Amino acid sequence: MKEKRQHKEQLYHLFARVASAMANPHRLELLDLLVQAPRTVEDLANVAQMSIANTSQHLQRLKQAHLVVGAREGLYIRYHLADPAIARLWLELRGVAERQLAEVERTLDAYRERRHEFEKVSADELRQRLSKNQVVLLDVRPEVEYQAGHLPGAISIPLDELERRLDELPKSKTIVAYCRGPYCVFADEAVGLLTANGRKAARLEEGVAEWQLAGRALEG
């Protein structure tokens, strides 16, 4: 009986190993970025605004828990999620925090301070309006993320290029912008820029992870 108890405790130690690897805000941000696209340490450090040394240490913790894997490409190692279930785990963790912690909504309001100003389009409504050729779907994430996977029919204009490429977008249709999901501000900034330039614009709250979790396919 004692031996069985030891084995049971060992199981919980293994579960805790995964939870411990995720129990850090920087590592959660790295996972969130890797949901969008595989990246090198240097890329992750740049986007997450961390030093390369710290980023590497956090990746090693995630790697030890088998949450991420690295593949060598010449001089660099490109990291990606070890399993699609890890993206689902991240979204479920986020969802629990949304439901149980009132601070999440308040903090999101402070981060995305204009999020209640814009029209929001649901995924189902988007599909209907795309099928009727009523809207243009705009992916404002970095090009590397678009190439890794994007919503069907989306065109890519990264946020930092949008202002100088406005003429590429039709003036007669509503532009629906999306980015990394509800905790990303890129689409808000894009919709703000579009409306300031006289365009009809709306935001899709979902990103590629939420789209896939609902059983929908990506392109790319």
Nearest CA-CA partner of 173 in 115, 134, 123, 212:
134
Q: Which of 87, 151, 179, 191 is catalytic?
A: 179
Name 56's Cβ contacts closer than 8 Å, sequence gap at least 6.
Answer: 41
Share of the chain above pLDDT 90, in %: 95
Say what the pLDDT of residue 67 is: 98
Is-contact 200 172, C-beta < 8 A? no
pLDDT digits (tens, 9 = 90+) for 152-191: 999 999 999 999 999 999 999 999 999 999 999 999 999 9
Q: How far apart are CA 171 and CA 184, in angstroms?
A: 25
pLDDT digits (tens, 9 = 90+) for 20-29: 999 999 999 9
Q: Which two tokens stand for residue 42?
A: 């240097």
- Mean residue pLDDT across the chain: 96
Domains, the chain, ranges and CATH? 2-88 (1.10.10.10), 111-213 (3.40.250.10)
216, pLDDT greater than 80: yes
**DSSP per residue over 5-24, as a string?**
HHHHHHHHHHHHHHHHHH-S
47, pLDDT greater than 80: yes
1, pLDDT greater than 80: no
pLDDT digits (tens, 9 = 90+) for 85-117: 999 999 999 999 999 999 999 999 999 999 999
Is-contact 150 218, C-beta < 8 A? yes
Place 2 in a pLDDT band, splitting at 50, 70 and 90.
confident
pLDDT digits (tens, 9 = 90+) for 139-154: 999 999 999 999 999 9
Helix, strand or coil, per DSSP, at residue 46: helix
Known catalytic membership, residue 184: no
pTM, whole model, 2 decimals?
Answer: 0.92
Place 4 in a pLDDT band, splitting at 50, 70 and 90.
confident
- H helix intervals, 101-171: 102-111, 123-131, 143-148, 159-162
Say what the pLDDT of residue 52 is: 97
Is-contact 39 33, C-beta < 8 A? yes
Helix, strand or coil, per DSSP, at residue 114: coil
Pairing of strands 39-40, 76-81: antiparallel
Share of the chain above pLDDT 70, in %: 100
